[in-house]
Amino acid sequence: MAGRRRASGARGTRVVVALCLLLVSLVGCGGRPATDSAKAEVQQVLDRRAAAILDHDETAFLRSGAGDWFGNLGAVPLADWSYRLTTLRRTGDTALADAELRYRVQGHDRAPVSVGRTLSLRLDVEGHWYVEAERPAKGSAEQLWDQGEVSAVHGDDSLVLGVGQSDAALRSYAELADHAVPAVSQAWGSNWPRRVVILVPMSLGDMAGLLGSPESSYRGIAAVTTGETGAPASAPADRIIVNPDAYGVLGSTGKQVVLTHETTHVATRAHTTEATPLWLSEGYADWIGYLGSGRSPSQAAPELWQAVTEGRAPQTLPTDEDFGFSGDAGRLARAYESGWLACRLIADRWGEVRLAEFYRAVGAHERRAGAVEGALKDVLGTSLEEFTGEWRDYLRAQLG
């Protein structure tokens, strides 16, 4: 480089040595950069921050830095809260840190929820790091307390957390959930946590923020359940996240059906794998959701009823792509209704116990290919071709 060419001979060597000594004094020697010590110091700040949250000690929390959302957490029953610093990018007296936040809700999470957080830090006049701001990391969803002060209502089988919601509104969700949990257990069995956590944000936009997705993905969807398919029994409790805009326009029966549907997803999560088609997972959740609702097939499946009466009855079970939100609300509704009637057919023809056994058998396969076919043969004694034919006949009988 130009600077290096100007230094020559012994004088150049002395300049290089002097520069190296200067760098050593600034960043440390022995191949251990100064960021190592900075990382240790920042991790200590995060540890103190976590301890303050668990102790509900706002004074201690403020010593670690900004506390703009500390009060938002007051009603959330936390069992654990910890940070693990993953990266630290320092620029003089400031730094940007990425950390993994792990937390558990008391009485619900048997393993921690893990989310990414980004923290802006600065050195104070005494040379200590403090947090200027904390926010969701890029690509990570918001947490409910990022959106405002959280209120909590405890039900017999549920915990409802909301922002900008009245206690009466949150209590109504708890009552619905407390009805849904035993209803799901009666149909599916009791080998699941039998408790649910419901998050009620202020708007569709806030719901999308909690899911880390655009609003368009959930417009018209009353609620969704988070959680990875095939997760072990020790995994954190799923969160049922409500879209208050769509949920609010439902009647009392519709609200109960939705909460029971989502609770079914929580119960069946450990047996819902990549092998499980959406027609089965969504159809089974709807089947339990509609039990005892008094809804007739034509009332519960109006889009499919119209298709059948117009001679447009589907010839095959819906694919996963049919459940995608593409703006065609009719196609999406027919996919859900088709899955529900397929599960209803199994319950009517082979019995409710066999339906649950079929669901578990499909999920037990290692891959999608052959999963439904194998379970149909082993559990129901039929083939996919025969079952599809019976399902088409069932649609015409129930909706024609």
Q: How many other CB atoms are there within 10 angstroms of residue 250's CB atom?
A: 14
Q: Is the pLDDT of residue 12 over 80?
A: no
Q: Is the pLDDT of residue 2 over 90?
A: no
pLDDT band at 329 (very low <50, low <70, confident <90, very high): confident
Distances (CA, A) of 302 to 136, 248, 348: 41, 21, 20
pLDDT digits (tens, 9 = 90+) for 150-180: 999 999 999 999 999 999 999 999 999 999 9
DSSP 320: G
Which CATH class name applies to 149-270?
Answer: alpha beta
Nearest to 400 by CA among 352, 350, 341: 341
Q: Where are the domains of the chain?
A: 34-140, 149-270, 273-400
Q: What pLDDT shows up at residue 35?
A: 67
Structure tokens at 337: 């209704």
pLDDT digits (tens, 9 = 90+) for 202-252: 999 999 999 998 888 888 899 999 864 444 444 555 899 999 999 999 999
pLDDT band at 1 (very low <50, low <70, confident <90, very high): very low
pLDDT digits (tens, 9 = 90+) for 267-292: 999 999 999 999 999 999 999 999 99
Q: What integer best gives the mean pLDDT of the chain?
A: 89
Radius of gyration from C-alpha coordinates of the chain? 28
Cα angle vertex 280, ends 210, 349, to 5°? Answer: 145
Average the pLDDT over each of 106-115, 117-126, 272-281 and give the range with the smallest value. 106-115
Of all residues in the chain, what percent carry a pLDDT higher than 70?
A: 88
Q: Is the pLDDT of residue 341 over 90?
A: yes
Residue by residue, DSSP assigns 127-174 as S-EEEEEEEEPTT----GGGSS-EEEEE-SSEEEEEES--HHHHHHHH
Q: What pLDDT shows up at residue 88?
A: 97
pLDDT band at 327 (very low <50, low <70, confident <90, very high): low
pLDDT digits (tens, 9 = 90+) for 61-101: 999 998 889 999 999 999 999 999 999 999 999 999 999 99
Q: Is the pLDDT of residue 113 over 70?
A: yes
Residues 195 and 158: beta-carbon distance below 8 Å = yes
Residues 166 and 206: beta-carbon distance below 8 Å = no
Q: What pLDDT shows up at residue 27?
A: 37
Taking the C-alpha atoms of residue 197 and residue 267, their distance in angstroms, rounded to an integer, is 12
Residues 265 and 245: beta-carbon distance below 8 Å = no
Q: Is the pLDDT of residue 338 over 60?
A: yes
Each as own residue / partner, the long-range contacts of residues 111-117 (CB below 8 Å, 24 or more positions apart, any chain) are: 111/234, 111/235, 111/236, 112/80, 112/82, 112/236, 113/236, 115/140, 115/141, 115/143, 116/140, 117/83
Topology (CATH level 3) of domain 34-140 = Nuclear Transport Factor 2; Chain: A, (3.10.450)
